Chain A
Amino acid sequence: MFPRRKITPKGTDIQMETNGKRIVYADNAATTPVSPKVLDAMLPFFKENFGNPSSLYSIGAAAKKPLEEARDRVAACLGAEPTEIYFTSGGSESDNWAIKGAAHRMAKQGKTHIITSKFEHHAVLHTCTALEKEGFTVTYLDVHENGIVVPEELEAAITDKTALVTVMYANNEIGTIQPIPEIGAICKKHGVLFHTDAVQAVGNVPIDVKNENIDMLSLSGHKFHAPKGVGALYIRKGITLPNLIDGGAQERNRRAGTENVAGIVGLSVALEEAVRTMDEKNAKLRRMQTKLIDAILKIDRSRLNGDREKRLAGNISFCFEGVEGESLLLMLDLHGVSASSGSACTSGSLDPSHVLLAIGLKHEVAHGSLRLSFSDMNEESDVDYIIEVLPPIVERLRAMSPLWDAIIHGRA
């Protein structure tokens, strides 16, 4: 994708200088480049239209209108009302606000139980851990071998103390899509608040918060070609959460801080574009996904993590026995492929991915994981290139692996 163009003198091009080496960016679940269209929409708000939307004079008002137009666009993309959209600094803030807010509000009614899944993003898991320290009890639902929550198990976990269910829309490592409409219906039936961390799903999966009975939804701009540092929380009308950030009267007194106007405008334009082009993009990504999965499965002792069908079109997650994930990533990087791993080493922690352990992988297998995540900016030729370079890399690492030696001789 990247090597065909060079950085323009204006510096507005997203392409990288590559010195002729092929570069394939395959880590779009980590972050995406800001698209040229989004950047163009944002630029006026850094310079000409720099006003504070809260100011009375015309320069301020000139920033207020685009802010509200951005809110309209985001609401339309989710099937929400504009007054139900609150802009935040990103997915982590949205998750913290929704979960802590709902928990603290419901605790006043004596409801101190939260249901979540074992493989949520740390923004959700660590928030739940923090609430456990405050005295809340948390049920962590199994996600089974296919990486999908079973709605009946969720329903069985609901008690008269249950305040909140928080289950991610799509998993960030293995891309599995959760049965959100079914969970929404269950929560509605039992009068339990339902939050979903939809950071990986928004812009990639059609979402309608009303039809799916979602009470709160977190999203983050940089996963769909908007910049980092801007996100949103949808809060259904009628639900009042205590503020996470106190201060000024921005966001209808619910989230203080001068609005990141450029970021918010960028997020809204990016989301609108992602939703408008979703079908076309997903059709292309599915073709690439099928080709790549079929090719990688031909590697001996490789394993696709998570359900093959119920997953994001742009996500591929594999484990290779006898290979350690970080080495794999470094080797891929030497070949110009930017990818990610559930491997401990990449995150600075020495434990393997909690997601891969949650779907039942053994520690030694979970160490050998690879996540490739694509966006509409990738091309089929990127997949062809990965199919060309990946098998020899796996073979090379296995050739120096004492573990592989033991595996093929039946000693491990």
Chain B
Amino acid sequence: MAYSAKVMEHFANPHNVGELPDANGVGEVGNPKCGDIMRMYIKVENDRIVDVKFMTFGCGAAIATSSMATDLVKGKTIEEALKLTNKAVMEALDGLPPVKIHCSVLAEQAIKAAVSDYYRRIGIDPVPIVGEIRTDADELACSI
């Protein structure tokens, strides 16, 4: 198993790491038992993600996909951010080893979880817009 240079670059110097004290949407997916947890913070203004940060416990791919996913949604409208797929994250990283594909799925779900939380906070039911989020990503992290 070898990571692409792009994955190693994002692992060694991840973008958007940390907490966002004035976030108005926070989503967390994964679980420690499986070895991956991603927490994403978004700050939304006028339907646009003006800032995003992440905290991740996980392997190299988990950190790199968190970094790339946050890069890809930063400055985007919510509508655009919700179109982010795990495939896009993977492609932007020049691919992932097959056993690590679940990390890109977690990254996609973490963004969606943060958006769902944002909608919930402003009194909008997120399910019709975002869909169901697999926050307890037991199966996600352990079996994909």
A interface residue numbers (CB < 8 A to B): 322-327, 330, 334, 343-345, 348, 350, 352, 362-364, 367, 399-405, 412
Q: Give the contacting residue for B59; candidates A345, A364, A405; CB below 8 A.
A: A345
Instruction: Give A350 to B31 CA distance when docked, in angstroms.
Output: 13
Instruction: Give complex CA distance A203, B62 in Å.
Output: 39
B contact residues around A352 at 8 Å (CB):
35
CB contact between A400 and one of B8, B12, B55 (< 8 Å): that residue = B55
Q: Within residues 1 to 50 of chain B, which ones have a CB less than 8 A from any CB in chain A?
A: 1, 3, 8, 11-12, 14, 17-18, 28, 32-39
Number of interface residues of B (CB under 8 A): 31
Apart from A325-B59, A400-B17: 9 A-B pairs, beta carbons within 8 A: A324-B58, A327-B63, A343-B59, A345-B35, A348-B99, A350-B141, A402-B37, A402-B55, A405-B55
- Known: A324-B57, A348-B1, A348-B99. Is A403-B63 also a contact (CB below 8 A)? no
Q: Give me 25 A-to-B residue pairs in the complex whose CB atoms sit less than 8 angstroms apart, sorted by A's number.
A: A324-B59, A324-B62, A325-B59, A327-B58, A330-B11, A334-B12, A343-B35, A343-B59, A345-B60, A345-B99, A348-B1, A350-B34, A352-B35, A363-B32, A363-B34, A364-B33, A364-B35, A367-B35, A400-B56, A400-B63, A401-B57, A402-B39, A402-B55, A402-B57, A403-B57
Bound CA–CA A343/B57 (angstroms): 13
Q: Which residue of A has the minimal Cβ distance to B102?
A: A350
Interface of chain B residues 111 through 144 with chain A (CB within 8 A): 141-143
B55 contact set on A, CB distance < 8 A: 400-402, 405
In whole angstroms, what is the CA distance A110 to B141 when docked? Answer: 45
B93, chain A: closest CB distance, angstroms: 14
- In the bound complex, what is the Cα–Cα distance between A348 and B100 (angstroms)? 9
Q: Given the interface contacts A363-B33, A364-B32, A367-B35, does A404 sit within 8 Å of B57 by beta carbon?
A: yes
What is the CB-to-nearest-CB distance from B3 to chain A, in angstroms, rounded to a whole number? 8
Q: Is the CB of B60 within 8 A of A402?
A: no
Most chain-B CB neighbours within 10 Å: which of A344, A345, A362? A345
Partner of A401, one of B33, B56, B59, B142: B56
Q: Which of A327, A334, A364 has the most CB of B within 10 A?
A: A327
B-chain residues with CB within 8 Å of residue A345 when the two chains form the complex: 35, 59-60, 99-100
Q: Are B17 and A324 in contact (CB under 8 A)?
A: no
Contact: B142 with A402, CB < 8 Å?
Answer: no
- Whether A350 pairs with B142 at a CB distance below 8 angstroms is yes
A344 CB contacts on chain B under 8 angstroms: 35
Provide the residues of chain A in CB contact with B14, threshold 8 Å.
400
CA distance A334 to B60 in the complex (A): 12
B60 touching A330, Cβ below 8 Å: yes
Closest Cβ of chain A to B33, distance in Å, is: 4
Write out the residue numbers on chain B whose beta carbons fall within 8 Å of the beta carbon of A325: 59
Measured CB to CB, the closest approach of chain B to A395, in angstroms, equals: 13
Contact with A along B52-81 (1 / 0, CB 8 A): 001111111011000000000000000000
A400 touches B18 (CB 8 A): yes
Closest A residue by C-beta to B56? A400
Q: How far is the CB of B110 from chain A (nearest CB, A)?
A: 11
Query: A residues within 8 A CB of B39?
Result: 402
From residue A268, how far is it (CB to closest CB) to chain B in Å?
Answer: 35
Q: B35 is contacted by which of A350, A402, A405, A412 (Cβ under 8 Å)? A: A350
Q: Which residue of B lies closest to A367 (CB)?
A: B35
Establish whether residues B11 and A412, one from each chain, have CB atoms under 8 Å apart when the complex forms.
no
B59 adjacent to A403 (CB under 8 Å): no
- The 10 residue pairs across chains A and B that have the minimum distance between CB atoms: A364-B32, A326-B59, A367-B35, A403-B57, A401-B57, A402-B55, A363-B33, A402-B39, A345-B59, A330-B60
A334 to B13 alpha-carbon distance, docked (Å): 11
Q: In the complex, A404 Cα to B18 Cα: how many Å?
A: 13
Contact B57 A322 (CB under 8 A): yes
Contacts of A327 in B (CB 8 A): 11, 58-60, 62-63
Of the candidates B3, B17, B37, the one whose C-beta lies within 8 Å of that of A403 is B37
Give the Cβ gap from B143 to chain A, nearest Cβ, in Å: 8
- The distance in angstroms between the C-alpha atoms of A324 and B141, with both chains bound, is 14
Flag if A367 contacts B32 (CB, 8 Å): yes
Bound: A367/B62 CA distance, A: 14
| Cβ A412 vs Cβ B59 within 8 A | no
Q: What separation, in Å, do the CA atoms of A325 and B17 have in the docked complex?
A: 19
Contacts of B18 in A (CB 8 A): 400
Among A326, A348, A403, contact of B32 (Cβ-Cβ < 8 Å): A403
Neighbouring B residues of A402 by C-beta, 8 Å: 28, 37-39, 55-57
> Measured between alpha carbons, how far is A400 from B38 in the docked complex, in Å?
10
Question: CA A400 – CA B37 in complex, angstroms?
Answer: 11
Give the docked Cα–Cα distance between A265 and B67 (Å). Answer: 51
